[in-house]
Amino acid sequence: MVYSILFFLLAQLSTTVCAQFSTTPAQPGLCHAAICFANPVDEAAFERANHCVFGSMCAGQAIKSATQCCGANRFSGKPEVHDKFQTVESGINALHWWTAYKAECPAMTQNGAPPDALWAQCVPGRKHSPSDDWEVVIAEKNGTSRDYCIDGCSTPPSFVWGLWKSGVFIFNDKDNPTGKGPGGIGATSSFFNACAAHDRCYQTCSIGIDQSACDDKLLSDMLTACATIPPDHITTFINFLGFPDDENTRKKCTDAAKDMHTGLQAAGSPAFKKRRTQYCQCCK
């Protein structure tokens, strides 16, 4: 009885009340979501909406100071932001993950928790995540939330190299494939600012801005950059076979933009999931 009262008081004092993902096989009536709620009212609303109940508040765990949620790694037991947002579908398909997360976490916010294993290196010159291909260029303040980490166009090096060798890109450069190199038009055709905005978009928690919204905005911004190139501008450069080559710069720029956009549609969902996982939380 005493423990029940203490637990109730703790729940009331805290701004956050959590429910933990059940590791046991599915049972009728149990909620199978690893999300945190701002208060018991929200949790009860979730239970009603999903016709399920959580077994107990925080499954009996204390709220973690590091995350201000009861989310803990199911395996290590350590508090992890990442663990809070895993859904049943997360390992299957990143787009399905986002659909499920949106449904479970309509009040998502920017994460203000201290850096953790997933987010410890937003430092220019270092990789934001160990699995990233490129290093951070700009660490940009975002109020009290985690910094925006900008690495520009994050296309895989083999993708950039392949499009350069096959002649779609004029130069082997991820941020400015039609301008950065000997003979190139220079910063005019750079996609860096468009890609920086795209980085922010992936790192912004908003239920209404999903991956395709971010990707489509990137395409629009890249095409805007291409439109500043004079339509008849010709880039003369030495191709990788050692010979002078001429290309219409604006056309190459728009082709590059479209291929990069198609690439994001085809292979960008893991990156989107990674960033939203790093930057979003359900706890208020």
Partner 1 sequence: MKTRKNAALLLLLVAVCGNSMAELTLVETKRELRKTTSAQAYLGKNAVYWIQSSPFADNASITIQPFEARGMSGQKNVKLSVLPMIMSPSYRSLHANGILIIYMDYAGKVHASQIDDSLAIVKKTTKLENPSIVNEIISTQEYYVIGGIGNDDFASLVFLDKNLSKQTKINLPVKKKGEVSSLFFDKGRFFAISNHYDASAYLHELSLSGVVRRTTQLRGGAATGVSLENHDFAISYRVGREVFIERFDGEMKSLWIRKLHDVTGIATRKGNLHDMKNEIAWVGANNDKLIVYRLDDNGNIIHTSRDESSGYGVPSSSSYLSIALGRDIHIRGQDRKSGGPVDDLIDSFHFVDSKE
Helix (H) or strand (E) holding 256: helix 249-267
Q: State which residue, 109 or 265, has the beta carbon closest to partner 1.
A: 265
CA distance 83 to 70: 10
CA 20 to mean position of chain CA atoms = 23
Binding residues vs partner 1 (CB under 8 A): 156-159, 161-163, 165-168, 223, 226-227, 234, 239-248, 251, 254-255, 258-259, 262-263, 265-267
Q: State which residue, 167 or 186, has the beta carbon closest to partner 1.
A: 167
Q: State which residue, 61 or 248, has the beta carbon closest to partner 1.
A: 248
CB of 224 to partner 1, least distance (A): 9
Q: Which residues pair with 142 in a beta bridge?
A: 145
CB of 179 to partner 1, least distance (A): 17
CA distance 175 to 146: 24
CB of 130 to partner 1, least distance (A): 17
CB of 147 to partner 1, least distance (A): 27
CA distance 175 to 197: 13
CB of 181 to partner 1, least distance (A): 14
Q: State which residue, 24 or 166, has the beta carbon closest to partner 1.
A: 166
Q: Strand pairing of 138-142 and 145-150?
A: antiparallel
CA distance 64 to 43: 18
Q: State which residue, 21 or 169, has the beta carbon closest to partner 1.
A: 169
3-state secondary structure of 18: strand
Q: State which residue, 106 or 167, has the beta carbon closest to partner 1.
A: 167
Residue 178: both structure tokens together: 């039609």
Q: Closest by alpha carbon to 246, among 238, 235, 254? A: 235
**169-208 burial code (b ≥16 CB/10 A, e <16):** bbbebbbbbbbbbebbbeebbbbbbbbbebbbbbbbbeee
CB of 4 to partner 1, least distance (A): 51
CA distance 272 to 280: 12
